[in-house]
Amino acid sequence: MRRRALLLLGLCVLVSACGISEDTKPRDIPDPEKQDLGGAATPGGGVATGEGRIYLIGPATTGQTPLLQPVARSAVTATELLNSLLSGPNDTEVSQQYRTAIPTGTRLRAATVQGATLRVNMTEELLQLSGSDLVDALAQIVFTSSELDGVQQVKVLVNGAEQQWPAGNGTLQSAPLTVYDFPGRVSSAQPAYPAVPTPTDGG
């Protein structure tokens, strides 16, 4: 009996030595043991739902220039809508060949409404563009911004500085941009007009 009691006592000591003791007070976790509990940001744009709309460059068709097309986003304010635009197409839209002309890494510094004008302050990545890519990026910003109630024109700044931007015809202008500066850049959702009926002898 004595040997059995000593054996049981030794086993209990061994088990308790393998356990994890509780701290009696808070302690700092060493850097090598720290883990990131927050999920990593999902690459690409948000889910294509909601009442907000951003404009992306749609799939190319044979013999035609790709046009901007609206896609849904769950965004209400100017800041939310423009940040959704800067996030670009989501995975499904990428698989459908939607894209954006706005450079990766472009950030929104501020978006403020002054009357019918939305002042959009972007970071300098926008200045990397030229030619048709720049016109497409500006058109995306202007058409997306114009989805907001009351916004009729858009002033695009870079790091707070005013710029001269090309309109759809390539002409530089310092005035605020409107959707009318980019004719023919957006896919129309309006159905084609019915054909004019051919007159008949009996008509």
Which pTM was predicted?
0.70
Give the Cα separation of 108 and 134 in Å (integer).
17
Name the residue with tokens 């509990």: 37
Name the residue with tokens 């002309």: 101
Is 138 exposed, middle or buried, given 0-12, 13-18 or 19+ CB atoms closer than 10 A?
buried
Is the CB of residue 139 less than 8 Å from the CB of residue 185? yes
Residuewise pLDDT in 10s, the chain (203 residues): 555 555 555 544 444 444 444 445 444 444 444 333 333 233 466 666 678 999 999 998 877 889 999 999 999 999 999 999 999 999 999 999 999 999 999 999 999 999 999 999 999 999 999 999 999 999 999 999 999 999 999 999 999 999 999 999 999 999 999 999 999 999 864 433 344 444 455 54
